[in-house]
Structure 1
Amino acid sequence: MAYFKFNGVSSKDMGLRIMNQVVSESTGRDIERVQVPGRDGDLLLSNNRLKSVEKSFPCKLIVKDNLTVAGEKISQWLLVDGYKDLELSWDANYLYKAAFIETFAIEEILRQFGEVKLNFLVYPVKFLKTSLVSKSVRNGEVINNSGNMKAKPIIKLVGNGECVLTINNRKTKVINVQNNLVLDMQKNMVYSGAVTAAWDKVVRSPEYTLPYLDVGSNTISWTGNFTVEMTTYVGVKL
């Protein structure tokens, strides 16, 4: 039986059975259309991002408890802030990020009808689960990005001093590292230990760039007496 898991809790454990096919949108570029007087057609301005998508789960409630109590439990489960992990039994190798954003009273609908359509706002990229584990990298190692888009990794440099990290000839230079430095490209943050912002450690100049992984093969190397750990976050566009 098909099911989904949201924020670590399975729909099966909540007594929800998916009735019909799950309805999903596909993502697209966030494009702003601007009409300019005297110019034919629309001017298209890209916001350089993918749009989130909606995914709907039509469910029937099958529980031994009364529907009111079950509905209250489901409402408490779903109504949490921000994106949470979403797993689908029919796409078990990937992890989604989703938020439940409905404002209606779930428990009231379930109490009256025993059925409900649960609508989630889903982050436009799903991640290969095996790529969400931090792994040590050897200097000169080739890492494969099997997704269909550039990957934004989390890279931890352990060592002291200066380091130039190279990925497929793109260089990232960091300086004055003390013990460790984390380049978190998922959150677009750089931090070290308890210091939540350590952008002063990253050299900004035309010859250096922030790290990412190309689709396909990526050769990783670095200078200095450092060890490197990486969580690759291999992603597939929805």
Structure 2
Amino acid sequence: MRYSVVFNRTRCEDYGIRPVTRPDIPIPRKDIELLTIPGKSGILTKNNKRYEPIEIPIEFNFFSRPDEWGLIFRNARRWLSGGGELELSDDPDYFYKVYYTEISDSEREMRRIGRFKANFTCDPFSYLKDGTREYDKSEVLHNPYSTAHPVYKIAGEGVCFLTVNDKSMRANVGQNLTIDTDRMIAFREDGTVNNIAVSGDYEDLYLKEGDNQIGITSGFALKVIPNWRSI
């Protein structure tokens, strides 16, 4: 099967372009600060407990009629602008979250052939596609991946407590409330932001590697989008 790239759920072939080679995927680097102390030999290290973004360069080429060369390149630039989700055909179960994309100048090797490079600056984690759907809490208690930043969807009426690994967040729910721990925001199903409805730390609701405990006050329903990811 021919290698392909999908960006924001659209295949590169839909724009008449193809990747030249499979890209190299860099290993994310830990954010480690090196500290020096005057008068003291050596250094100290400070682990900021995060990873640096990664860059995935992909070279594309295309073949066209001479009078359509510019059109194909313009359409490709428009498609590859901004951020979104990047999928690679040889890793079909995962995707990358793209912060932004930069495109190099196109090289016109012949009247019909063009070549350019797109550089995708991404979140350091690769995300499991299955981790983007809703689960019952009992289905996500074991996390075999890296620490996850889930979305919790609560249904009910009144004040409840969402407890994850013995740490709780208080939520005042009016029929429904969504708690997004990655974006650190709470909102209703219609998109209305409702941060004042919760009190507590979003970080306390992360799913650690391995086994977790999740609880909700009786009388409230809970669904979880785990956002499983790997470094």
Matched, 1:159 2:160: no
Q: Return the letter of the residue paired with 2:79.
A: W
CA shift at 1:176, angstroms? 3.3
Equivalent-residue separation in structure 2 for 1:96 and 1:142 (angstroms): 21
- Residues 23-172 of structure 1 mapped to structure 2, 5 A cutoff: 23-64=24-65, 66-80=68-82, 83-102=83-102, 104-106=104-106, 109-110=107-108, 114-137=114-137, 143-147=141-145, 149-167=146-164, 169-172=165-168
After superposition, the C-alpha distances for 1:146-186 in whole angstroms (9 at most, x for unaligned) are 31x1111000111122323233x323131433222222112
Answer yes or no: is the 8 Å Cα contact 1:127–1:235 preserved in 2: yes
Answer yes or no: is the 8 Å Cα contact 2:162–2:171 preserved in 1: no
Distance 1:200 1:61, change over 3 A: same
Distance 1:210 1:228, change over 3 A: same
CA shift at 1:200, angstroms? 5.1
Equivalent-residue separation in structure 1 for 2:192 and 2:26 (angstroms): 39
Matched, 1:233 2:230: no
Answer yes or no: is the 8 Å Cα contact 1:68–1:110 preserved in 2: no
Answer yes or no: is the 8 Å Cα contact 1:160–1:177 preserved in 2: yes
CA shift at 1:196, angstroms? 1.5
After superposition, the C-alpha distances for 1:31-88 in whole angstroms (9 at most, x for unaligned) are 22233321222332333321110111122213356322211111111123xx301111
Equivalent-residue separation in structure 2 for 1:50 and 1:226 (angstroms): 36
> Secondary structure in 2 aligned to 1:90?
coil
Distance 1:88 1:163, change over 3 A: same
In structure 1, stretches of 5+ residues that fail to align are none
Q: How many residues align?
A: 226
Answer yes or no: is the 8 Å Cα contact 2:77–2:103 preserved in 1: no
Equivalent-residue separation in structure 2 for 1:142 and 1:101 (angstroms): 33
Normalised to the residue count of structure 2, the TM-score between the two structures is 0.85
Answer yes or no: is the 8 Å Cα contact 2:140–2:226 preserved in 1: no
Answer yes or no: is the 8 Å Cα contact 2:166–2:213 preserved in 1: no
Equivalent-residue separation in structure 2 for 1:181 and 1:235 (angstroms): 24
Answer yes or no: is the 8 Å Cα contact 1:61–1:110 preserved in 2: no
After superposition, the C-alpha distances for 1:82-135 in whole angstroms (9 at most, x for unaligned) are x301111111101211144326444xx357662222211111111111110123
> Secondary structure in 2 aligned to 1:177?
strand
Matched, 1:190 2:186: yes
- More divergent stretch after superposition (169-178 vs 190-199): 190-199
Q: Return the letter of the residue paired with 1:9.
A: T
> Secondary structure in 1 aligned to 2:38?
coil
Answer yes or no: is the 8 Å Cα contact 1:52–1:124 preserved in 2: yes
CA shift at 1:203, angstroms? 4.3
Runs of 4+ in 1 over 6 A off after TM superposition: none
CA shift at 1:199, angstroms? 4.2
Distance 1:176 1:9, change over 3 A: closer
Equivalent-residue separation in structure 1 for 2:101 and 2:92 (angstroms): 24
> Secondary structure in 1 aligned to 2:49?
strand
> Secondary structure in 2 aligned to 1:24?
coil
Answer yes or no: is the 8 Å Cα contact 2:103–2:119 preserved in 1: no
RMSD: 2.6
Equivalent-residue separation in structure 2 for 1:128 and 1:110 (angstroms): 37
Identity of aligned residues (%): 26
> Secondary structure in 2 aligned to 1:13?
helix
Normalised to the residue count of structure 1, the TM-score between the two structures is 0.82
